[in-house]
Structure 1
Amino acid sequence: MKSHSDFFHGADTTWQKVAIVRRSLMFISIFLIECITVYWFANNLSPSFPLLLQTLIVVPFAILLFWLQLGFFTAIAGLWVSFRRGRFRILPSQDSPISPLDTQNTTAILLPIYNEDVAYVYAGLKSMYQSLKDQNALDYFEFYILSDSDDVSIRLQEGATWLSLCDELDAHGKIHYRQRKHRKKKKSGNVMDFCRRWGKRHPYMIVLDADSLMSGTTLQRLVSVMEQNPKVALIQSPLYTSGVSTLFSRYFQFLNRLYGPVFFAGLHWWWLGESQYWGHNVIIRTQAFMDHCDLPRLERGGHLDGDILSHDFVEAALLNRAGWETWLAFNLENSIERPPPTLTDAMKRDRRWCQGNLQHWHIIWSRGITHMQRFLMLGGILSYATSAVWLVWLLVLSYSAVVYPDTPVIPNTEGTLALTLLSIALLFFYKLFGLFEAFKDHAIKNFGGWINASLGITAESIISILITPVKMLYYTRFIIEILAG
């Protein structure tokens, strides 16, 4: 019987060839629908509209249609993956055996923190430590609390709580605490500082966030899979949310848990060994990271200069450029983060992410970046820029309705009905895919059964309809503020 490593790496270039086929299939499908729909749309605009107005109607429509199709086909791919036991899963199954781990070279578990809720951070660390202890796996791991906090009272609390926790758990020598005096390059600099100090001691590092939680089994499984795949530098866990009970966070958790499995599987289907890195809940080969991921400051003479904020996307691209593989373990369980409690908190976070993603415009053109990673960084930009495109489109349509009140944008024809049905499919069918996936995996009971899950989808859809225009305005404002400096 083949080992996991033989099973996965039977041929060095197999996944690369399959990736070309899969991506070609998906993007040709998107291209064909795009061409047919945009051609029909453009040819059915009122001839009384001037050319400039027609262009301002058609171009945003084409961009938005492409973006919706990308999500739709990703969900279809995820549904396909759920029916098949594919050869290209970095983790064959959640129940695959964990191989014996190396006790001489421990894996570092990093908690980079910056003025966080100390009690919450240490409670999460304690939970993970206890989970590993219960499974007799503590010998394989060491914890590092990497503090960049600049609030003196918080730093004092961090140090005192660390000592107290080490005493409580008898964990002196297993849980380390470091304060950095100068917060150079923010989180990416914090992790790289760890690498310079202690990286040689640990072949792998599991990078967490202040609100991350992972079970002992999940931590061990990540190390086991990494050891069996020597060409892999990074394995990203899927991110599921839990831990907050506000209305917004419950809404966020519902869509994350119901639709997440389909989208994670779909992303894996066309990413394969060129996965993105989402900043935390990830295992990284330490030496590869040290060799290729010491990021410079951007100095292009514009408003996007400075530290690279969305460093994780860039680090994955640099690892791929160096010949390493990066994978999404889409079927891994018990990888948790805390959702933002309110829409305001979510927008504060998105403001940072928006600036970081816009910075990628400079990095996309760097020499040696793979075409896949260029596209993924462009996708990160579009995740915010499409809001501005949508707003412009709505304003243009409003202008046409005022200036040409007796002229509909599109006449009422059979094609109009087809366009309406296509829009409904692109906007809502993924919800049915998520519901079907939950039923197939016997997870529907976690949502209270079919009826409660269906009611939940209805409520989530209503909230999304209300929130999406608000996010559109926020994202457009972010882009204007960032580009204006």
Structure 2
Amino acid sequence: MRDVGHITARRRAPGSLRVACLGLAALCGLLATVALAQISARNGVSIWDIVRCAIFFVTTIWLAWGAVQAMLGLSGRDDRAPLPELAQPQPPTVLLLPICHEDPVAVFARVAAMDRSIRSAGLEIDIAVLSDSQTEAARDRERAIFAILLAETDGTGRIFYRNRSDNRGRKAGNIESFIRRSGGAYELAIVLDADSLMEGETMRGMIARMQAEPDLGLLQTLPRIIGARSLFGRAIQFSSAFHAPFFTRGLIRLQGGTGTYWGHNAIFRIRAFAACCGLPELPGKPPLGGTILSHDYVEAALLARGGWRVEIDERFGGSFEEGPENLLAYARRDRRWCQGNLQHTRLITAPGLRGWSRFQFLQGALTYLVAPLWALFLLVSVLVTVTTPLPDYFPEPQGLFPVFPDDPTGGLIALALGICCLLLLPKIAIWAGVVRTGRVRFFGGAALSSLSVIAEVLLSSLLAPLMMAYQTHAVAKVLLGHDGGWPAGQRGEGSLGLAESWRASRGIALTGTALLAAGLHFSPTLVIWLLPVGLPLVAAPLLVAVTSQPVSTAVFLVSDDIRSSPVVSDFHATFRYWVLPDEFEPV
């Protein structure tokens, strides 16, 4: 048994800060709900008023919790110790790259670029490409390009490829298989996704932290999204670069040593992983039983249960991944995450887990359950409106919060105020913080970054009803017993035509049309309050198609558009240099 008591005492979990932040989020939810209840009580209280107040309380707490994290990331000083230097001898380290039916040219071009960056950083790291591809044609292509990789890098003896015919456990099982067979040769493992890239100097810093802190079981970086070309992709890329570091910094302060693992762009201690992270099959059939899909959160919880620290460190640059290029690709990926996060509800009461790990499981499930709750809130608000006769006079505003007395739905105006306060203010504060620290130069300066923030807010507001619809559909499918499985990654998806977008989102468009038609039938005034949700739903095919189109890099400018990382530039150069068979298309 490891003696880490002295380290644990030095790094005590921030319990009081967690209680304060959760209390503040609950207070915001309570005040907003009181305001809604006072509005509803003007014409008497029905069971539907009580239902929507309960829903509004939960969903507003959720919005407030995100705002609290952002503001926490903006406040206070960073009292963490400086990043340590690597001491010799370097711990034996392997880079693991699980793949399954990916484009092997892109995969191995990334490996070639990272291998050169690793050697430039003075590191000795083996690279293992772990394939779960199941067709012989895919395996043959992977072996052929792997041969080119070995010839180009002189990588024999340090770059390895293996394919397993039995892909039980998916990605987690793939890594477990490597640890069982070869893990004894290494102390540390860096794990990436097929679309990940990482600089050698970043790996050097991560290894140094693991070397200096023997109780650190896993260290997660904050990867930057790169390579986005579409309007949708570039908006996500900008948000991840501009806003995400502050939300992550707030999350770090709350998590302490019971942090989050996102399954890639991280480093872990093999001995800790082998001892703690063997994943069972959940009892019962999918979607809530069977293979654990969102394995990363579970592995982080198991490491913490075993006495190891799990941390995120956003200070490491040089960690990259790609993002979806259109809303349909995002929704497909989100469907698997939805099923995986809802599976976590079965693990909340698992024995021995830290309290924060249980909270993270609940929080992950709420990420998706909040969408159908918002949809239900809107539905109940409409029901209240059409079943409650409106007074023929306008009373004076009463109660704790003054409101517009002619608001026909009560809840919708409270919803609008809540979104403005809890979503917009943190982003405005982050923009001010970026300007104050001088980081605004990485986003084209104060003027261009301001336009980018405004455009991102407008675009995310337009797409929010669509995301609500897709996530509500995903939750419904899981709860009805439909298994979404683990679809193979589809990298480099490009623009969508209007016909394809219509086929994929016509249900959303018809739902929006029915919503507005019902509002117009029962109360023309109601339609005004439904427009911010109804119009994007009606226009869903157009929004999906338009946002998938490529745009200039001047739109949502980020630092990687100004100056690309060496490992990213090397990857693109390698990809272009290799002679590609006709069936391979650049990604």
Aligned to 1:472: 468
Aligned 8 A contact 2:257 2:311 in 1: yes
Aligned to 2:165: 181
Aligned to 2:99: 113
Aligned to 1:3: none
Aligned 8 A contact 1:109 1:205 in 2: yes
1:12 deviation in Å? Answer: 3.2
Aligned to 2:458: 462
1:61 deviation in Å? Answer: 0.5
Aligned to 1:257: 241
- Return 24-33 or 406-415, whichever deviates more: 406-415
Aligned to 2:409: none
1:303 deviation in Å? Answer: 4.2
3-state SS in 1 of match to 2:8:
coil
1:404 deviation in Å? Answer: 2.3
Aligned alpha-carbon RMSD (Å): 2.2
3-state SS in 2 of match to 1:415:
coil
Aligned 8 A contact 2:84 2:212 in 1: no
Q: Structure 1: which 5+ residue stretches go unaligned?
A: 1-7
1:415 is aligned, of 368, 384, 401, to 401
Aligned 8 A contact 2:67 2:422 in 1: yes
> Could you tell me how far apart the structure 2 residues matched to 1:255 and 1:390 are?
23
1:291 is aligned, of 263, 275, 283, to 275
> Could you tell me how far apart the structure 2 residues matched to 1:260 and 1:355 are?
24
After superposition, the Cα gap between the structure-2 partners of 1:412 and 1:211, relative to the gap in structure 1 and judged at 3 Å, is farther
1:239 deviation in Å? Answer: 2.4
What does 1:396-435 correspond to in 2, within 5 Å? 396-404=380-388, 406=390, 412=397, 415-416=401-402, 423-435=419-431
Matched, 1:379 2:363: yes
- Return 430-439 or 358-367, whichever deviates more: 430-439
1:130-174 per-residue CA deviation (whole Å, 9 max, x = no partner) reads 11122222x2x1100000011322211111111211111111011
1:102 is aligned, of 85, 89, 113, to 89
Instruction: With the length of structure 2 as denominator, give the TM-score of the two structures.
Output: 0.76
After superposition, the Cα gap between the structure-2 partners of 1:154 and 1:416, relative to the gap in structure 1 and judged at 3 Å, is farther
1:329-375 per-residue CA deviation (whole Å, 9 max, x = no partner) reads 12221211101111110001000000000000111111111110111
> Could you tell me how far apart the structure 2 residues matched to 1:361 and 1:425 are?
30
Aligned to 1:145: 129
Matched, 1:27 2:22: yes
After superposition, the Cα gap between the structure-2 partners of 1:40 and 1:123, relative to the gap in structure 1 and judged at 3 Å, is same
Aligned 8 A contact 1:41 1:410 in 2: no
Aligned 8 A contact 1:46 1:410 in 2: no
After superposition, the Cα gap between the structure-2 partners of 1:52 and 1:166, relative to the gap in structure 1 and judged at 3 Å, is same
Aligned to 1:356: 340
Aligned to 1:243: 227
Matched, 1:437 2:462: no
2:449 is aligned, of 441, 448, 453, to 453
Q: Structure 2: which 5+ residue stretches go unaligned?
A: 404-412, 482-587
After superposition, the Cα gap between the structure-2 partners of 1:197 and 1:302, relative to the gap in structure 1 and judged at 3 Å, is closer
1:27 deviation in Å? Answer: 1.6
> Could you tell me how far apart the structure 1 residues matched to 2:279 and 2:219 are?
20
Aligned to 1:232: 216
Aligned 8 A contact 1:212 1:336 in 2: yes
After superposition, the Cα gap between the structure-2 partners of 1:464 and 1:416, relative to the gap in structure 1 and judged at 3 Å, is farther
Instruction: With the length of structure 1 as denominator, give the TM-score of the two structures.
Output: 0.91
1:28 deviation in Å? Answer: 2.2
1:117 deviation in Å? Answer: 1.5
Aligned 8 A contact 2:284 2:290 in 1: no
- Return 253-262 or 395-404, whichever deviates more: 395-404
1:376-431 per-residue CA deviation (whole Å, 9 max, x = no partner) reads 11111011100000000001111122222516999855714696655422010121
- Percent same amino acid among aligned pairs? 32
After superposition, the Cα gap between the structure-2 partners of 1:457 and 1:288, relative to the gap in structure 1 and judged at 3 Å, is same
> Could you tell me how far apart the structure 1 residues matched to 2:226 and 2:331 are?
19
3-state SS in 1 of match to 2:11:
helix
After superposition, the Cα gap between the structure-2 partners of 1:340 and 1:324, relative to the gap in structure 1 and judged at 3 Å, is same
Aligned to 2:138: 154
Residue-pair matches, total = 466
Matched, 1:135 2:121: yes
3-state SS in 2 of match to 1:209:
coil
Aligned 8 A contact 1:107 1:204 in 2: yes
- Return 352-361 or 421-430, whichever deviates more: 421-430
After superposition, the Cα gap between the structure-2 partners of 1:258 and 1:156, relative to the gap in structure 1 and judged at 3 Å, is same
> Could you tell me how far apart the structure 2 residues matched to 1:411 and 1:71 are?
34
Aligned to 1:61: 56
3-state SS in 2 of match to 1:57:
helix
